[in-house]
A and B are shown apart, each in its own frame.
Chain A
Amino acid sequence: MKNLVNVDVKLGVNKFFVDEGEAHIELIDNPDEKEFKKLELACPAGLYKKDESGNIHFDYAGCLECGTCRILCKDTILKKWEYPNGTFGVEYRLG
């Protein structure tokens, strides 16, 4: 891969109203690796990450609310998937 993608930079141009009080998506503890890998590959916002030492990270703050993780893993490693509360979350200006 010559041009390694940096999704965070792309998310940085978006407008988000993050609901600090409530995570609208939650992972279960110790999620299955194979399932997690699917989300690493699929999440358009790249929110499911694994670092060099193998620790997994997830942050709902840059969520684009597409529902991909819900479709792939709601019955396996996601404890919760909801749309953010009204007014919160991504706000597309172009769409």
Chain B
Amino acid sequence: MSEDKFDAIIVGGGLAGCITAYMLANAGLETLLIEKGNFSGSKNMTGGRLYAHSIEKIFPDFANEAPIERSIVHEKISFMNDDSCVTMDYSTKEASNNEDKSYTVLRAKFDEWLAQKAEEAGVGIIPGIRVDDLIVRDNKVCGVIAGGEEMEADVVILADGVNSILGEKIGMVSKVTPHHCAVGAKEVIKLSKQQINDRFACTDKEGTAWLFAGMPSDGYMGGGFIYTNEESISLGVVFGLHNIEKASKSIPQMLEDFKNHPTIKPLVEGGEILEYSAHVVPEGGLHMLPEMVRDGVVIVGDAAGLCLNVGYTVRGMDLAIASGEAAANAIIEANKKSDFSKNTLNKYVQNLEDSFVMKDLKLYKELPQFLDNERMFNDYPDMVSGIMKDMFTINGPSIPMRKMIMPHLKKVGFMNLLKDGFKGVKSI
């Protein structure tokens, strides 16, 4: 049996899984990665943006070689109601430091590249196989069962995504609740390079990230997004699932209405849908972290609920990559000691604590609750667009600015403004 045993088996070939696999193989561990899709990335999607810092540590200058789409130099944040849109727009030169950059990516291409890197490092990759169960003996995870076959390993890494069925089966992950997640639906729309450059004021390699609060998510927690790819744009909505019963329309309809909003429609005019995808986003932050380690097993990436919604930016991929790195480093040490007990593997949690992952999750731990405030997605978009409308509508004598603004503030309520302002500042 022992000659059949692997040093490590990784379930799931997304970012966290591939990074862990790559690093383990590089350290000489006999590593197997099992992916249920026909290739790594074939089941994965993202809104669109990868912050480079964590992958730069592992693959310096990766963007020269990896299939990235565009480097983000243009940030937009909008408050949007049914008819109007108020936008804050920031553009800058591309950062000179690679770690400060961020890129739009399409996961089917990106993950496939990363899996290829892992394979070149010596990882055995089996695509097209779904892992059905874990082998557990005396409370220690000893391997996986896939397609009726058993495969054993010193350590199993669960990188099986936000619906971590395996993590639930052994009781490490509690089932994701509607309160701790959102669903994202996205269209990838084909436009020519030139059309994208013209419509989003970009050059060939540079692009825009644009988030929208308000109308896209039907006035509830969530939002809309646009990311420019090389020759397409990713356009989507995200909706917090706990509000689904209150929604006035379906999520696909939200996406359609967002796409037909007067601000958006001209931007996608003439574009052809290339793909329609959806994915659940773990948004519970610190409150939804599972039991990360047990004897013979660790959990990484989305499966561990590692995601950070800070309102103006949503991050999961850079956390997944960092968690893969943290897990791999712990496993390499465990391998040297030939000790895969929870105690030794707990170094993974320690590594996470020392990294930005846990620091940021702790820093923003109150934010999910703060953002789940309907004023954020209804009253404020109406308030700012109302102020703008009054400022830019001239018909007869003008009234003083403060008199113009007051009624809009009153509508939201001064106490609410104070309260949200105070809580908002506190939670960041």
Which chain A residues have a beta carbon within 8 Å of chain B's beta carbons?
1-5, 7, 10-11, 13-14, 17, 34, 37-38, 40-46, 64-68, 70-72, 74, 82-87, 89-95
Is the CB of B266 closer than 8 A to any CB of chain A? no
Considering residues A3, A10, A86, A89, which has the most beta carbons from chain B within 10 angstroms of its beta carbon? A86
Q: Please, could you name 16 A-B residue pairs with CB atoms under 8 Å apart, sorted by A?
A: A1-B257, A10-B187, A10-B273, A11-B276, A17-B38, A38-B245, A45-B252, A45-B278, A64-B276, A68-B183, A71-B175, A71-B241, A74-B175, A86-B129, A90-B277, A94-B232
Is the CB of B41 closer than 8 A to any CB of chain A? yes
Instruction: Identify which of A37, A82, A89 contacts B43 (C-beta below 8 A).
Output: A89
Q: Mark B8-44, 1 if CB is under 8 A from A, else 0.
A: 0000000000000000000000000000111001111
Are A95 and B46 neighbours in the complex by a CB distance under 8 Å?
yes
In angstroms, Cα B176 to Cα A68, docked, is 10
Is the CB of B203 closer than 8 A to any CB of chain A? no
Are B106 and A95 neighbours in the complex by a CB distance under 8 Å?
yes
Which chain B residues have a beta carbon within 8 Å of chain A's beta carbons?
36-38, 41-46, 106-111, 128-130, 146-147, 162-163, 165, 175-178, 181, 183, 185, 187-188, 232, 239, 241, 244-245, 247, 249-253, 255-257, 260, 273-280
Contact A66-B188, Cβ < 8 Å, known A13-B273, A71-B176, A83-B36: no
Are B244 and A3 neighbours in the complex by a CB distance under 8 Å?
no
In angstroms, Cα B168 to Cα A83, docked, is 14
CB neighbours (8 Å) of B109 from chain A are: 94-95
Are A42 and B130 neighbours in the complex by a CB distance under 8 Å?
no
CB neighbours (8 Å) of B43 from chain A are: 65, 89-92
Are B45 and A95 neighbours in the complex by a CB distance under 8 Å?
yes
In angstroms, Cα B113 to Cα A15, docked, is 20
Say how far A87's CB is from chain B's closest CB, in angstroms. Answer: 4
In angstroms, Cα B182 to Cα A67, docked, is 11
In angstroms, Cα B253 to Cα A67, docked, is 19
Are B251 and A41 neighbours in the complex by a CB distance under 8 Å?
yes
Are B185 and A95 neighbours in the complex by a CB distance under 8 Å?
no
Are A42 and B276 neighbours in the complex by a CB distance under 8 Å?
no
Are B188 and A94 neighbours in the complex by a CB distance under 8 Å?
yes
CB neighbours (8 Å) of A84 from chain B are: 36, 130
CB neighbours (8 Å) of A65 from chain B are: 43
**B35: nearest chain-A partner, CB-CB:** A86
List the 7 shortest-distance A-B pairs measured between CB atoms, nearest first.
A95-B107, A44-B278, A95-B108, A5-B256, A67-B163, A10-B276, A44-B185
Are B177 and A5 neighbours in the complex by a CB distance under 8 Å?
no
Instruction: Identify which of A46, A70, A86 contacts B36 (C-beta below 8 A).
Output: A86
CB neighbours (8 Å) of A13 from chain B are: 273-276
Are A93 and B252 neighbours in the complex by a CB distance under 8 Å?
no
